[in-house]
Chains A and B, each alone.
Chain A
């Protein structure tokens, strides 16, 4: 064993090569070219999930728009749970960062005269969303990755998987990681570590998130003693394909698509969303706010009026009446996705859809520079909670968040790293322990008999039942109990794969462990927040309660593995809490944006 043990040393270690991680890496190089920067990623950086974002990135650039308006849209959309100082920094720096990406070669879509083009986006009252055709995340990620190649001081560990953070003397000083190609378990030490590992959509059964989004960074931080923040806020998108989670954009509904239940009935009319008209009407029926559409699905399911599909309940999105011509000219991408990835032709067939988990508002608790309360540990991107997203993220705010806070965290970590020095000896001992644990508990374990896929399926079901679109105290307590049972059973998983070379089953086992911790954090926060706000809807506490809960949930892990939830007041600078009107169609409700 020890013969396989190697260590690497860097000034700053970035875990994650998505939009946030790559922006952070470049920021460290720019802040201090002398620092050695490592980027470690379980997939090649350009495979990171940032690649799949389609819609766009918000940043004020056009005359007639203002930073204050972007800030207000963000804060009201977030149901006043955003930290307003962070939002102010965010809206100010977003256009600069998007421009920087333009200078680095991002193929932003343009106006005829060559200026940046912007489009409208749900919840944004002015047009301010930059886009690169319908592949914004893809182009941003490849631009960042290709640009990062020009910095010699960035050392990449592609297809390495981080299993644990090493903490000594109250400071994070390194990580243990497995090189997939060789199966070697190694320690990488650093004066500062930045987590940029993305979200945890895979905790849920139906999600737009890729296979790699397992809450790794959230669990790593949580286990190391850093708190997670606002984990109960999980964003759904109302129309995803059930099996693949592929997102069918709102455009399909704005062009006139119908949502039908099992009787072919436009059921949204039963949920206070207006009366059906043959032509689409803004803010009514199928064009109602996204959260309301997701909620209507649940109620329809409870009435037994959804369709039982092979992957669970669905409703139908019907585009057939729009005709081939309109579908192929106005919705070519929707048709392409259905044809290419689900083998369904929307010109002739009904599209099965259901609400799917899309984005995590919560994450590792950080300050405005990405610093966590644990010295030496930083976080940015979807894994982090600064928080600019509050109780509900506005569509197209996440991509610019990667850039703004990726850059900020890079600068902050560079400064911290310059002031601290080499890791302690205790760190290496810890690393050896972790390496032994991985072998004993996973690679060499015999007996047991639980399969990873079984526990994963049960976890996903449990969290959907307890902490899905609607939550109650009772359902949450049941899920807590179920998760405990699964944690126990997780210890009995055995692997079919005992090999060292590219053992993806070993990785899946560790990802499952991370997801169980993320699930626990989500459920605990949801249980303790006895109010409804943004994406967190408690049927037993249907009202927002600013007296008690104008505050962030912070969930800590206790030494015995149990958790505790504390609260931190929201930072209000200029926008006192207002009403985020429900019931009547209004602009703020569109803030339930989902891309």
Chain B
């Protein structure tokens, strides 16, 4: 009765291997199991040395992104049943340096995130005693979608521009910059614009929208990039008219 399914998993240890290889495992097949459950089965029962990241198993912590049969996926939200009875191939996220097995190096994103200043910037801060900044549900809706990013990196693994040019700020970081730019409480758009325009990467984005397609949280980073380009063009135009600096 016990059905099984084959998993082909990338193995790589910088201490021992010159290049990544694949290892095949046979694991029980269950309708309610996601790819991550199969990896956990391997780690618990078959080979404790398999390395990968995970935590919440509910699609919100953003840890478990991997390539599943060639596509960037959250492994905690990808059922084996989608692929069964065929084998499932699990690889580390594309375009990132591999640390070990299925673990990639994401320091690059952390640095870029800080660079785009993803925090509220104001000329004058309001004191707590004066209460909240008013923000209507409509004003909230303007940036809400871009605030849903779980930093899972799937969009980077899908982005052809990032694949060619690792200096590109990339979909999620731009979406988060834009999230603050269009928040009614924020006054930092100009500052962020200066940073974002430093690199030409953003202009290389051709709006094919792979990032938006793979995003598990419907953030629509491609939309953010497009929006940003328009604003940047406007700012640039204004700066030509008003050399002392546009507001």
Q: Which A positions have Cβ atoms within 8 angstroms of B?
A: 43-44, 46-49, 51-52, 96, 99-100, 102-105, 107-116, 135, 138-139, 142, 146-147, 149-150, 158, 181, 210-212, 243-246, 310, 337, 340-344, 451-453, 495-505, 508
Contact = CB atoms under 8 A, between A and B. Distances in A.
Given A99-B131, A496-B49, A500-B15, 4 more contacts: A44-B151, A102-B132, A110-B137, A504-B43
B57 A505 contact: no
Contacts of A212: 55
A343 B81 contact: yes
A38 to B, nearest CB: 16
B62 A46 contact: yes
B188 to A, nearest CB: 11
B136 A113 contact: yes
Contacts of B47: 496
B229 interface: no
A95 to B, nearest CB: 9
B196 interface: no
A104 B53 CA distance: 29
A52 B180 contact: no
A181 B134 contact: no
B62 A52 contact: no
Contacts of A147: 119-120
A146 B54 contact: no
A354 to B, nearest CB: 14
A109 B32 CA distance: 33
A503 B13 CA distance: 10
- The winner among B13, B60, B114 for most chain A CB atoms within 10 A is B60
Interface in B88-142: 99-101, 103, 105-106, 110, 113-114, 117-120, 125-126, 128, 131-137, 139-140
Contacts, number: 171
Given A46-B151, A499-B15, A310 B60 contact: no
A243 B48 contact: no
B168 interface: no
B60 A52 contact: yes
Nearest to B30: A310
Contacts of A503: 49, 51
Interface residues of B, number: 69
B63 A499 contact: no
B99 A181 contact: yes
Nearest to B74: A340
A409 B48 CA distance: 38
A558 B27 CA distance: 44
B135 A114 contact: yes
B176 interface: yes
Given A103-B128, A243-B32, A51 B56 contact: yes
Given A103-B133, A114-B139, A150 B119 contact: yes
Nearest to A352: B32
A47 B118 contact: no
A241 B14 CA distance: 39
B59 interface: yes
B220 interface: no
Interface of B: 13-16, 30-32, 34, 37, 43-45, 47-49, 51-63, 76-77, 79, 81, 99-101, 103, 105-106, 110, 113-114, 117-120, 125-126, 128, 131-137, 139-140, 143-144, 147-151, 176, 180, 183, 185-186
- The winner among B58, B132, B151, B186 for most chain A CB atoms within 10 A is B58
Contacts of B37: 243
Nearest to A95: B128
A211 B54 contact: yes
A48 to B, nearest CB: 8
A96 B62 CA distance: 30
A501 B14 contact: yes
21 contacts: A43-B53, A51-B61, A107-B140, A107-B143, A110-B137, A114-B134, A116-B132, A142-B147, A142-B149, A146-B176, A150-B119, A210-B55, A210-B57, A246-B58, A343-B32, A453-B44, A496-B48, A499-B13, A501-B14, A501-B100, A502-B103
- The winner among B56, B144, B186 for most chain A CB atoms within 10 A is B56
A510 to B, nearest CB: 14
A109 B136 CA distance: 9
Contacts of A504: 43, 51-52
A103 B126 contact: yes
A77 B118 CA distance: 39
Contacts of B137: 109-112
A505 B119 contact: no
A115 B132 CA distance: 7
A212 B119 CA distance: 27
Nearest to A495: B48
Contacts of A181: 99, 105
Given A114-B134, A211-B55, A502 B99 contact: yes
B103 A102 contact: no
B48 A452 contact: yes
Q: Pick the 7 closest A-B CB pairs, nearest first.
A: A114-B134, A497-B49, A496-B48, A453-B44, A502-B100, A146-B118, A105-B120
